[in-house]
Amino acid sequence: MHELPVAVSVNGRDYQGVVEPRVTLADFLRDNCGLTGTHLGCEHGACGACTVLLDGQAVRSCLVFAVQVDGQEVTTVEGIAGPDGELSPVQAALKECHGLQCGFCTPGFVTSITAMLRDNPNPTDDEIREGLSGNFCRCTGYQAS
């Protein structure tokens, strides 16, 4: 199959590669960049485990081809923590309030919440439910919208 070049900034670091057109952003991040914090759950965009920030917007990386992000900025859960590894406010709150169990869905929740709070620092309960409606946790109880 024909391969295409891709160059993307991930968490402030430049990555380049040559990939088949069908390679998803999620697979590129894991296989080419070595960033395994982005988890693949359903590979259909339904669970939200693979959520990353693409030019600041929360997207399901299993639904985006790597070649589509050429020249763009991607932030993964690894890039949300501070440069010295200190937890972001969202990560710290999830840790402090025991907002996770197995942790598989956590990266998607962290990126979705980070984007939501950046755009709306004081969301209502309904806005929070809507903002997280694309993320599923199969371990804990949650209230779907």
pLDDT tens digits, 75-111: 999 999 988 889 999 999 999 998 888 889 999 999 9
Buried b (16+ CB within 10 A) or exposed e, 71-100: eeebbbbbbbbeeeeeebebbeebeeeebb
pLDDT value at residue 47: 93
pLDDT value at residue 143: 62
pLDDT value at residue 138: 85
For the 4-131 domain, the top CATH level (class) is: alpha beta
pLDDT value at residue 99: 84
Alpha carbon distance 132, 64 (integer Å): 20
Token representation of residue 107:
């990266």
The answer to whether the Cα torsion of 98, 40, 77, 115 is positive or negative is negative
Alpha carbon distance 32, 15 (integer Å): 8
pLDDT value at residue 135: 92
Residue stretches of the chain with pLDDT short of 70: 141-145
When the pLDDT of each residue in the chain is averaged and rounded to a whole number, the result is: 93
DSSP state of 122: S
